[in-house]
Amino acid sequence: MSDLVNGDVPKTSRDIRFNPLSKLEWGQGNASGSLQQLSEYSLAYAELAVDWYLSRKRWKRLGARGTRLLALILALIAGLVPLIGEISESNGMPAINPLWASIALVLAAGAVAIDRLFGYSSGYMRYLTTAMKLESLAHDFNIEWQSRRAVITSAEPNEAQVQDGIEACRRFCTAIGQAVQMETESWVQEFTSALAEIDKGARAQSETARSGAINVTVTNADQAQSGWKLTINGGSPELHTGKTAAVRGLISGTHSVSAQGTIDGIQRSAARNIVVGSGTVVELELTLS
């Protein structure tokens, strides 16, 4: 059977490749042997396709597990960052910058997008189900072929039996090709859909990336000697006078805002986490205490 399969190409080659069927002899005394060669050729066709799918489903499985596990871990981190920041505040400031939650969510979405683009999860399921379908077809054909051989009482099959055997092999090879074609068409649809979703997500991300702003009002800032300091996301404090200050150019997400000032000789502060939407201006009121 190995001479029927493309022996120069290993079973783990990039594509499923199969040599054309060699010329068979159907004259007197050759029909039985040619039918046997034809059945072996057909089974080898199925075996090559099965081996191709099974050898590649392992990498699809590893890719699916890796990207989905990474996305899950990053999503958990995104949920924990604000909680940890609130629990372990220091001088009114969260211990962890809330922006890390937004970064973790973006990375989690990226891991899912990679899985969809390269078809790790869907590809693993497609490869597994296609391999199982091909194995089932090969099993049924093998049983059917043995039953055909059992009814041939003479050394050589008659013309009707030869034609029936050839037709059985043709149907089997057609079924194998159709299974492979269906899997390939599913991959094309998924890949096209993934590209469309990535393009849509990129446009949405571009829209989301529009900067927002915060208008901060410190109700008792007029009582602070020498003005008051405003700190955004743990950055460098900026000195302000009066009761209001505007912060521009903020990305969409959660931001930590804190104010510090000296009132009656006592250092006072106020802090709060606030969500800024894309292209929005948020009003925030703080009181030094």
Most confident range (mean pLDDT) of 154-163, 167-176, 219-228 is 167-176
Which pLDDT belongs to residue 8?
A: 37
Report d(CA 51, CA 121) in Å as an integer: 19
- The closest alpha carbon to 158, from 26, 6, 23, belongs to 26
Cα–Cα distance measured from residue 289 to residue 270, given in angstroms and rounded to the nearest whole number: 6
Question: Is 129 a residue whose pLDDT tops 90?
Answer: yes
Query: What's the pLDDT tens digit per position in 216-254?
Result: 998 888 888 888 899 888 888 888 888 888 888 788 778
Going 149 to 152 to 158 to 164, the CA torsion angle's sign is negative
Percentage with pLDDT > 70 across the chain: 87
Identity of the residue numbered 22: S
HSE of 204, CA atoms in CB hemisphere, 13 A: 8
- Residue of 210 and 88 predicted with greater confidence: 88
Q: Distance of CA 156 to CAs 26, 33, 149, 168, Å?
A: 11, 9, 10, 18
Q: What's the pLDDT score for residue 89?
A: 67
Residues paired with residue 249 on neighbouring β-strands, in sequence order:
none
Beta bridge partners of 254: 275
SS3 state at 65: helix
Identify which of 153, 126, 167, 133 has the alpha carbon closest to the alpha carbon of residue 39. 167
Lowest mean pLDDT, pick from 19-28, 158-167, 186-195, 279-288: 19-28
* Count of other CB atoms within 10 angstroms of residue 181: 10
Q: Encoding tokens for residue 31?
A: 């029909």
Q: How far apart are the first and last CA of the chain?
A: 87
For the chain, what is the mean pLDDT?
A: 83
SS3 label, residue 159? helix
The pLDDT value recorded for residue 227 is 86
Is a pLDDT exceeding 80 seen at residue 268? yes
